[in-house]
Amino acid sequence: MKKIFLIFFMGFLLNNTQLIATDQNQGIVDNLDMFLSTQYIESSDGLYMYLEISIWNRNVDSIYLLKDYNLENIIEEENGIILYLSSWVDHLDLLKYTSALYHNPRMIEIRSRQLVYIPLFLKVPNEFQIINTNNVIKEIIGLKYSLQQYITEDITWASDVDSFALGILERVADLNFIFNEYTRKYGNLVISQIRPPEWMFGVWVTDGRTLPGGEIINSTSRYLTVVADDFFLQRLVGNDRYINESIHGWLLTRSENRITQSYGENYYRLNINFLNGRMDYYYFFIENDYLIMHHNNQNGLFIFRYERER
């Protein structure tokens, strides 16, 4: 009877230890604000996917994101795409007897209160070349992180390769990367402060001309997408490559700012005030069916004219 009780007690402790570890990992992920920009690139040898993941770490401690991934699988569903990635830790059986296993792998340190951009250039497997590239990537499975900088540091007991490989796995956790439709972000749910009016909703595109009076349309922002809790500027970053910049995500990375908003029947203004005295603002209004945007920042005033995408 005592043996049976001991077995149950040990099982209870094991289960609770796993639950505590799971809760701790989830708490760490909840303190990461994650955004994603995507571009598909056609090449002579097939289709490639460029992912740029921005992660802002609100945890007290650093986290270490493992580098080097391959795209293993793609699942298309009605409301989005799921990507399955693989890294070297998924192939430990192949690495057990190689010297590479006993040297620390490449990782990206994300310090507390730091924003890091992670680029992933992935070859799309041949069997998934025909996918709906307009669908949102709603989940990325396979990203790994650790709270330890040297996950293969201790090699004093490396003669037992199975235990050594298991020890590596115990130092690595999954980074849940799940899209939240409400906040247009991944990870923890953060209610956006931004409230654009409904008449701004939709996709707008610049017409490439100047406004009366000679003000210059800044051609580095081509599209403006406005949703209930955010607006996105498609920004040129070189060689005709664009990324979508979330204004909500930009504000999240600047915890010292204070924002105020004002509304009218056909105008919307978002003021961003910094503790150092700097002030940015976005000002929108409708003129002759065009959406006019004034963006004032430390580089001056930029004026954009958009029309609804047809």
Span 261-270, mean pLDDT? 91
pLDDT tens digits for 37-55?
A: 888 888 888 889 888 888 8
The structure's pTM equals 0.55
Task: Please answer whether residues 108 and 118 qualify as being in contact, where contact means their C-beta atoms are separated by less than 8 angstroms.
Answer: yes
Token pair 């924002």 is found at 259
Residue that finishes a domain, picked among 146, 166, 187: 187
Q: Are residues 181 and 205 in the same domain?
A: no
Tokens 């003129």 belong to which residue?
287
In a domain, 16, yes or no: no
249 domain residue, yes or no: yes
Q: How far is CA 104 from its chain centroid?
A: 25
Burial class (CB within 10 angstroms; exposed 0-12, middle 13-18, buried 19+) of 78: exposed
Residue 228 belongs to some domain of the structure: yes
Last residue of a domain, one of 140, 156, 187: 187
What are the residues facing 64 on neighbouring strands?
109, 146
Host domain of residue 76: 27-187
Asked if 83 and 176 sit in the same domain, the reply is yes
> Based on the domain organization, do 161 and 276 belong to the same domain?
no
Contacts of residue 241, Cβ cutoff 8 Å, sequence gap at least 6: 39
Tally of domains in the chain: 2
pLDDT, one tens digit per residue, over 116-172 is 888 899 999 888 878 888 888 888 999 999 998 888 766 655 567 787 888 888 889
38 plus 179 within the same structural domain: yes
pLDDT at 82: 92
- What region does 104 belong to: left with phi over 0, alpha with psi -120 to 50, or beta? beta
Q: Do 175 and 138 reside in the same domain of the chain? A: yes
**Looking at the structure, do residues 152 and 212 belong to the same domain, yes or no?**
no
* pLDDT at site 10: 44
Phi, psi (rounded to 5 degrees) for 252:
-60, -30
Provide, rounded to the nearest whole percent, the portion of the chain with pLDDT above 70. 74
Rg for the chain, CA atoms, rounded: 24
- What residue type is 213 in one-letter code? G
Q: Is residue 14 part of a domain?
A: no
In a domain, 3, yes or no: no
Q: Which of 244, 253, 283 is nearest to 190 (CA)?
A: 253
160/303 same-domain check:
no
Select from 132, 163, 187 the last residue of a domain.
187
Lowest-pLDDT range, 32-46, 94-108, 161-175, 282-296? 94-108
At residue 125, φ and ψ (nearest 5 deg) are -55, 150
Are 35 and 165 contained in the same domain?
Answer: yes
If asked whether residues 35 and 182 sit together in one domain, one would say: yes
